[in-house]
Structure 1
Amino acid sequence: MRKFRESTPNVHMDNLCLTCGTTGFFTSHLNGEVILRKNKKDPGNEPPLTIHELVVDTATKYSNLTALGIRKMKEWETITYIEYYELCRKAAKSFLKLGLERFHGVGILGNNSIEWLIAHIASIFAGGISVGIFPQNSAQTCRFIADNSEANIIIVENDWHLQKILKIQDHLHHLKAIVQYKDKLRKKLPNTYSWEEFLTLGVTVSDEMLDRVIDSQKPNQCCMLSYTSGTTGPPKAVMISHDNITWTAAAVLQSLPYTHAPENQEILVSYLPFYLITAQIFEIWIPITIGASIFFADPDAMKVQESLIKTLREVRPTSFCGIPEVWQVIQDKLNFDHISATSIKKNMIVWARKVGLKANLNRDNEAHYPLSFRVAKKLIYDRVHRDLGLDRCLQFLSSGSGLSKETQEFFLSYDITLLPMYGMTECTGPHTISTEKEFKLLSSGKTIIGANSAFRHADQDGMGEFYIWGRHLTMGYLNNEYKTKKIFDPKGWLHTGDMGLMDSEGFIHITGRTEEVIITYEGEKIFPVPIENMLKKNIPIIHHAMIVGNQAKFLSVLLTLKCEINVETGEPRGMLTQEVINFCRSHNSKAFKVTDITENQDPIIDKIIQRGIDEINKQTNFESHKILKWKVLEKDFSIIGGELGRSTSKLRRSHVTRMYQTTISSLYI
């Protein structure tokens, strides 16, 4: 195994970049190089590393520690860090044997697995560009991504994914091979390989040949692409450099209290899809940096509640990162358990939750938790944590938008402090972090160490447009110089498109997107997200809410119901979830399907929805701020339907507005 290079050549990246012809902080070319956004003084000025330098350093230090684990039948099979590293080198040689060219893509289409991870890292070792692809993408979207990234090789999970690529392969002029990493190939086709066949291809490629490719790589060069769904047109390819990844992982670790191997090895669960950059930071790169063990949940973990919780119970992770949708699923489970409990236990839970919320909200003002809290912890909180598989968990992270105050307070009442973060693909995941010591409700935390935040064009209340700066900022958008220059200013600051403010203690508060702001008939600004969160709290059967009413005399809202999801495709079904059905039955409604409620067919549910809206309307005296009309849609919003963004699950408002323009117009007749 190669030894870690003790020092990195040309540590002063500004000089390195100037000698190779770099002219600025960003580029739109795959073979381009950028100037790293270094602070004049530490922090943020650490020597840059390539992906290989990071991985080989960990493999050297923690060679015999467990790196990865996957369930095979009823047992967990594991591999060590030295085995992990050697598999990556083996796969990298096979990529070279198949003719992977420098700065050409390796598309990876499928769910999280050890093979996905090895292909990802190996493609970078081999000088290619790793390209994670959303598993539910259509064949045409896969064609665009493969063509845009000039993919030489595409890795697919199974035959279903393989068939999508076979449909378009005649249009992929850079494609040289396809590799299927799960199941047997149904039919042997030219230049198509099973995973086992693929790993044997590189046996004739020498270590020296691979090492020459590895040594040619620089931290300020692109190593992966992350495709984000744009509001209009094809997805944008965000270019991520070696330094973006290695620096971001190290910066987050300066803020969060992860423990380091070998004394205290972190145990983590991988379930957030790897095509998301935030998932990669918390499930790939931070674990590698600290020598943690990663155990893979089943592929259906994001769609089937009990699947994820089963894995959590088995693995008992020491840290857990969720997104608002996952925390909502866990909240629904706890609510269901509460409803199903005996009357004595129900009363005990209600008491414990009141104690937990009060104690956690007032913890800064008390030297110790009260006796009642310690009793509640033993009787309720510890049991709930064990039941969720989170009894060893020391931090509960929340990534992505949409985490409401109500959800945070719900978990505080069970002695679980959700730690929100702010981030985006264009900043390699996180930009702000909350911690147990640096925590505030309705805040996204504080800027990670070594990065900078600014709110420009602020109004009298300090509300402005959010700009960020740091070495985690993307290199740019591939083949799109116009959008690259649009998102960056000349000094390298990135315009996030979000609105918010920074309070006197340095906490960041994001109120919404600039394009989300609704301007009323009288010119007043309304931020819809807080109202939408209140709607979802007041009306438990609502999954998504979208306020409309730009330039109108009143607000309206589009509502979707919580419904079953097709596990294979992610497509919303017409059947209500069991939680919603139980709610309906408790209110004497016989609703079973979405269509039982839409089109005003269920007056009981209509009254419940109207009552929830009326509660919100009571909080304003302005008619233009009130929700006067509403519509329950027959289909829930989803990623596959295009209403939600693939990288963030955020509501794509302009897209939804176009989809339902006729419906919206009818609300203002």
Structure 2
Amino acid sequence: MNTIYCTEPSKELQVRMGTEGAAALPSMTVMDRFDKTCAEFGDQQALHEKQDDGTGSLKWKSWTWNEYRGEVDRFAKSLISIGFEAHDSVNIIGFNAPSWFFANMGAIAAGGVAAGIYTTNLPEACKYVSEHSKAKVVVVEGNKQLSKYLQIAKDLKNLKALVVYGEAPNPAHKCSVPIHSFEDFLKLGDQIPASKLVERKQAQKPGHCCTLIYTSGTTGNPKAVMISHDNLCWTSSVMLSTIDALGPQDCLISYLPLSHIAAQMLDLHCPMVSGSQVYFAQPDALRGSLGLTLKEVKPTVFFGVPRVWEKIYEKMQEVAKVNNKSFVKRNIGAWAKGKAMSKNMKAQFGEGGGAPMTFFIAKKILGKIRAALGLQRCIACYTGAAPIERKVLDYFASIDIPILELFGQSECTGPHTVNTPTAWKIGTCGRPLPGTESKIDPANGEICYRGRHIFMGYMYMADKTKETIDEEGWLHSGDVGKFDEDDDPNVVKPSGFMSITGRIKELIITAGGENIPPVMIENEFKIAMPAVANCMVIGDKRKFLTICLTLSVEMNDDGSPTNKLTGQALETAKSIGSTATTTEEAKSCAKFEQYFNKGMETANGQTTSRAQRVAKWTLLNGDFSESTGELTPTLKLKRSVAATNHSEAIEAMYK
């Protein structure tokens, strides 16, 4: 049996068991974990979803852990009834819902593999995933997602059925395979004996593939990251060991794409270890309703990608401008924020901890802000998946909401380093998970690590897997970073807090041969100019660096950017005396030109070499977005796409 990697979903990979501590935790399958949770918390509530009660009102419907497991078993039996074999796959495309969970876990219970698909995928991209994973069943949300598969079903030779949740499938639809409503599909397995599921479960091994995570593909077709049962069980257990014990009384909100490993770990697998409850947000969560759900649910754990925290920050800045508080109230608020910032700076690892003596008064004042956000019960607020600005972290620390950054990849089952409530350092990605090893490649600064969270391999891609996992089991992350050395001397180095400084594939090599990390430069530009929403450094094979800037603008309902300034961009316009309200007006505004020139000078002052100085800037008409193809679903910048989309503006800087 190969002990390093595996690229066939039906093969078993030896568990990378350590000899002591977290690395030596017993291995188990996901279904063993599920059974253990049901035995301990079976009658406790597990899932909650708002559904129409028949009168047009939305009310919460709940499932206990035993009821959750019952629906999973029904789905698994129905899969078996239509010829689903061990190691076959199920695809799921749609917004977060109990049905998503039932289908995902049902595929695993039937001995198979589950794979989510991003809801924004066009039919051709859906076809690639379903064809590559050899999907036997595809579960879709509503007729909108179903319409994608009506176009491609005839080309999917392994497909046996389409299952629709969320709304009834249009009976007029014609397809080359049967189309079932979710409820009707569950009835197909009524005659399958429970012994069949027992057989499938007993045949599963911790080293078998359990889940496929398709990378968002910043270049080329996405790769299928094979995640084993042990990967999921071990990583979720170790991740939970870094915060205070969670239990059935704790809850979180599911709203991030479940096709991404972060949401699957947070929403699916960590609750299965702790017995915590999951509340499903409304489909328009990221378009405005998330705030209402937060206030209603009052989660104890909350994860937001940087853009979510930035939107909350921008909204609070707008509210602060509108509320004309008295001089006394403004000063009391500033005093409370100062005490909270002092307390949270001291709480950083290695600083001794301890809150100022009068912090209990400040806490009561700031508690109103936390309650207004719905975060008054939160014991841990996380962020990850993309860089977040320091000003946002500082602001939330000042209202006593420390945002804990973490770093990870699909290839390490989610997290590798994590800040914790008792060990955090603002502006870093935290320390490595217990039971893992880390190192920096001296040749290129690449972060490498290994442990039981490292994925099995890329399905059917042995060459790509060899490029990522070396012969000693080290995962080469593709990220450039560093570890602080002022940390616990009793722990083998590098044990310090980790910072990401760039991506190897994103390194710019200028015409003069200098290697330039663009992310570091872009971060300095954002710090120097709060009005800038996104930016992209250009300079590969060029004589000098330039940068494309975007301002904060309003978004259309489909997520595409408008040209109307909003948030910090609009506030900046007022503060510099500009009348600009659109990007076109900002482009021709002398006040904004002066603002950008001064900001570039400030950012260039932070560089470590002349080669890293930016010579010219250009302002784009809108912002980068997922709908225009410039951002991935996890908001990572697709540099090649953005460069193509804005080639004229870029070339104009080099004329």
Query: What's the TM-score, normalizing by structure 1?
Result: 0.90
Q: How far apart are the structure 2 equivalents of 1:357 and 1:534? A: 22
Number of residue pairs the alignment of both structures matches:
634
Among candidates 459, 484, 491, match of residue 478 of structure 1 = 459
Q: What is the SS of the residue equivalent to 1:369? A: coil
- For residue 543 of structure 1, report the CA deviation from its aligned partner: 1.5
In structure 2, the partner of 1:267 is 251
Q: How far apart are the structure 2 equivalents of 1:425 and 1:365? A: 33
- For residue 372 of structure 1, report the CA deviation from its aligned partner: 4.4
Q: Does 1:127 align with 2:111?
A: yes
In structure 2, the partner of 1:208 is 195
Q: Does 1:376 align with 2:370?
A: no
Q: 1:498 to 1:355 in 2, by over 3 A?
A: same
Letter of the structure 2 residue corresponding to residue 212 of structure 1: E
- For residue 260 of structure 1, report the CA deviation from its aligned partner: 2.7
- For residue 366 of structure 1, report the CA deviation from its aligned partner: 6.4
Among candidates 147, 159, 166, match of residue 182 of structure 1 = 166
Q: 1:233 to 1:370 in 2, by over 3 A?
A: closer
Q: Does 1:425 align with 2:410?
A: yes
In structure 2, the partner of 1:533 is 523
Q: What is the SS of the residue equivalent to 1:26? A: coil
Q: Is the 8 A contact 1:339 1:346 kept in 2?
A: no
Q: How far apart are the structure 2 equivalents of 1:300 and 1:226? A: 24
Q: 1:496 to 1:523 in 2, by over 3 A?
A: same
Stretch moving more, 180-189 or 603-612: 603-612
Q: Is the 8 A contact 1:136 1:570 kept in 2?
A: no
Q: How far apart are the structure 2 equivalents of 1:353 and 1:46? A: 42
Q: Is the 8 A contact 1:643 1:651 kept in 2?
A: yes
In structure 1, the partner of 2:375 is 390
Structure 2 gaps of 5+ residues are 52-56, 488-494
Q: Is the 8 A contact 2:250 2:277 kept in 1?
A: yes
Q: How far apart are the structure 2 equivalents of 1:333 and 1:354? A: 21
Q: How far apart are the structure 2 equivalents of 1:484 and 1:412? A: 40
Among candidates 417, 424, 432, match of residue 439 of structure 1 = 424
Letter of the structure 2 residue corresponding to residue 61 of structure 1: E
Q: How far apart are the structure 2 equivalents of 1:490 and 1:503? A: 27
Q: 1:594 to 1:102 in 2, by over 3 A?
A: farther
Q: How far apart are the structure 2 equivalents of 1:602 and 1:32? A: 62
- Map Cα deviations across residues 445-476 of structure 1 (whole Å, 9 max, x no partner): 111111111111258xxxx2111101111111
In structure 2, the partner of 1:69 is 48
Q: How far apart are the structure 1 equivalents of 2:343 and 2:222? A: 46
Q: Is the 8 A contact 1:231 1:652 kept in 2?
A: yes
Among candidates 456, 469, 472, match of residue 441 of structure 2 = 456
Q: How far apart are the structure 2 equivalents of 1:61 and 1:367? A: 36
- Map Cα deviations across residues 131-150 of structure 1 (whole Å, 9 max, x no partner): 10000100000011110010
- For residue 430 of structure 1, report the CA deviation from its aligned partner: 0.3
Q: Is the 8 A contact 1:101 1:152 kept in 2?
A: no
Letter of the structure 1 residue corresponding to residue 359 of structure 2: F
- Map Cα deviations across residues 80-119 of structure 1 (whole Å, 9 max, x no partner): 1110011100111111123223222211111001111111
Stretch moving more, 128-137 or 434-443: 434-443
- For residue 155 of structure 1, report the CA deviation from its aligned partner: 0.6
Q: How does 1:39-438 map to 2 (within 5 A)?
A: 39-72=18-51, 73-187=57-171, 189=174, 191-261=178-248, 265-304=249-288, 307-344=289-326, 345-363=329-347, 368-379=354-365, 381-438=366-423
Letter of the structure 2 residue corresponding to residue 531 of structure 1: I
Letter of the structure 2 residue corresponding to residue 43 of structure 1: A
Q: How far apart are the structure 1 equivalents of 2:440 and 2:261? A: 25
Query: What's the TM-score, normalizing by structure 2?
Result: 0.92
Q: Does 1:33 align with 2:12?
A: yes
Stretch moving more, 656-665 or 434-443: 656-665
- For residue 276 of structure 1, report the CA deviation from its aligned partner: 0.8
Q: Is the 8 A contact 1:228 1:645 kept in 2?
A: no
Q: Is the 8 A contact 2:3 2:16 kept in 1?
A: no
Letter of the structure 1 residue corresponding to residue 341 of structure 2: L
Q: Does 1:564 align with 2:550?
A: no
Q: Is the 8 A contact 1:497 1:514 kept in 2?
A: yes
Q: How far apart are the structure 1 equivalents of 2:356 and 2:484? A: 30
Q: What is the SS of the residue equivalent to 2:415? A: strand
Q: Is the 8 A contact 1:552 1:624 kept in 2?
A: no
- Map Cα deviations across residues 315-344 of structure 1 (whole Å, 9 max, x no partner): 111111122111111111221221122242
Q: How far apart are the structure 2 equivalents of 1:588 and 1:509? A: 37
- For residue 122 of structure 1, report the CA deviation from its aligned partner: 0.5
Q: Does 1:488 align with 2:474?
A: no
Q: 1:584 to 1:63 in 2, by over 3 A?
A: same
Q: 1:477 to 1:351 in 2, by over 3 A?
A: same
Letter of the structure 1 residue corresponding to residue 604 of structure 2: N
- Map Cα deviations across residues 463-514 of structure 1 (whole Å, 9 max, x no partner): x211110111111111111101111101111100111122222222221111
- For residue 607 of structure 1, report the CA deviation from its aligned partner: 2.8
Q: What is the SS of the residue equivalent to 2:502? A: strand
Q: Does 1:656 align with 2:642?
A: yes
In structure 2, the partner of 1:23 is 2
Q: Is the 8 A contact 2:94 2:119 kept in 1?
A: yes
Q: How far apart are the structure 2 equivalents of 1:404 and 1:579? A: 13
Q: Is the 8 A contact 2:343 2:354 kept in 1?
A: no
Q: How far apart are the structure 2 equivalents of 1:234 and 1:520? A: 28
Q: Is the 8 A contact 2:213 2:260 kept in 1?
A: yes
Q: How far apart are the structure 2 equivalents of 1:407 and 1:176? A: 48
Q: 1:517 to 1:232 in 2, by over 3 A?
A: closer
Q: How far apart are the structure 2 equivalents of 1:29 and 1:120? A: 20
- For residue 614 of structure 1, report the CA deviation from its aligned partner: 2.5
Letter of the structure 2 residue corresponding to residue 290 of structure 1: S
Q: What is the SS of the residue equivalent to 2:535? A: strand
- For residue 255 of structure 1, report the CA deviation from its aligned partner: 1.6
Q: Is the 8 A contact 1:303 1:565 kept in 2?
A: no
